[in-house]
Amino acid sequence: MTNIKTKNRITNIAIYILLSVMVIIWLFPIVWIILCSFREEQGADISYFFPKTWSFKNYIDLFKPDAYYFPRWFANTLIVAVCTCILSSLYVLMVSYAFSRLRFKLRKPLMNIVLILGMFPGFMSMIAVYYILKALNMTQTLLALILVYSGGAGLNYYIAKGFFDTIPRNMDEAARIDGATQNQVFWKIIIPLSKPIIVYTILTSFMAPWMDFIFVSVIMKDNYNNFTVALGLYRMLDREHMNDYFTRFCASSVLVAIPITGLFISMQKFYIEGVTGGSVKG
């Protein structure tokens, strides 16, 4: 018995060591960004880990008017993210509810169309999207970004549909017998029961504009004022700017990452429930 116990203890210690090493590896880039953001010495290629002089200079510089004006990018991204988040989440929930709970003639054909559309590489069409926006006279605007990000959102209905599928049908049938319309069933029964998937949808659609780089770069070209942080920060690391802007890049990365990380960690539970509840059972 003691033999098994010591063996178990040794395995556990080995696991702890392994986990610690892995955590260090996983946190390494993040810690490095944070350290660099406080580094007074400029330059990208620094061969030491800890800054020689600590300062808030990089953070302060971010708020000085410059061609690379971070606060504006941050505000842009926030506006785009909030609007996209509202529109996309609505679209996703609407489409997935329709496909999951309602029965209509075009349901299967439409689902097949979505399946096929999903197999095309998403930004194969970005050039055409650009010209459509140009025809609508909307290139280089934030509205264009919002429309592009939320426009195709309805296609990502699978996970939410999988979740809706698991809500027992007899609940809405009972409500229907009591005379509720489909609209009432949707708002009063399904939505209140679907908190995990709603939070999941909101979270993913809020994060999408923070991460996307391709569409912004196609749509905004060089209109620095309407950049989102992803594109702006990427530009900071252009070869010619890299040495001047690297530490500032790190500082802005920290500012971007803090709110998103906080949001993500506080909502992690719903994220897991969303992914496992939806994708897996669906």
Tell me the C-alpha distance between 227 and 74, whole Å: 9
What is the smallest separation between the CB atom of 64 and another protein, expressed in angstroms? 22
Q: How far is the CB of 111 from another protein (least distance, A)?
A: 9
Q: Which of 138, 166, 175, 241 forms a contact with another protein (CB under 8 A)?
A: 166
Please report, as residue ranges, which positions from 192 to 211 form the binding site for another protein (by CB under 8 A): 207, 210-211
| Choice from 40, 64, 123, 143 touching another protein (CB under 8 A) | 123
Smallest separation, CB 140 to another protein (Å): 16
Which of 226/254 has CB closer to another protein? 254
- Measured over the CA atoms of residue 35, residue 38, residue 39 and residue 42, the dihedral's sign is positive
Of 119, 178, 222, 240, the residue at the interface with another protein (CB under 8 A) is 119
- Nearest-approach distance from CB 221 to another protein, in angstroms: 11
Q: Cα–Cα distances in Å, from 139 out to 4, 67, 88?
A: 68, 20, 20
* 250 sits in which H/E element: helix 242-266
Give the shortest CB-191-to-another protein separation in angstroms. Answer: 13
Q: Is 256 helix (H, G, I), strand (E, B) or coil?
A: helix
- CB 62 within 8 Å of CB 255: yes
Residues numbered 43-102 forming contacts with another protein, rule: CB under 8 A: 44-47, 49, 91, 94-95, 97-98, 100, 102
What's the CA angle centered on 281, arms 280 and 282, to 5 degrees?
A: 95
| 122 belongs to the binding site for another protein (CB under 8 A) | yes
The 3-state secondary structure of 62-104, one letter per residue: HCCCCCCCHHHHHHHHHHHHHHHHHHHHHHHHHHHHHHHHCCC
Footprint on residues 246-275 left by another protein (CB under 8 A): 246, 249-250, 253, 256-257, 260-261, 263-265, 268, 271-273, 275
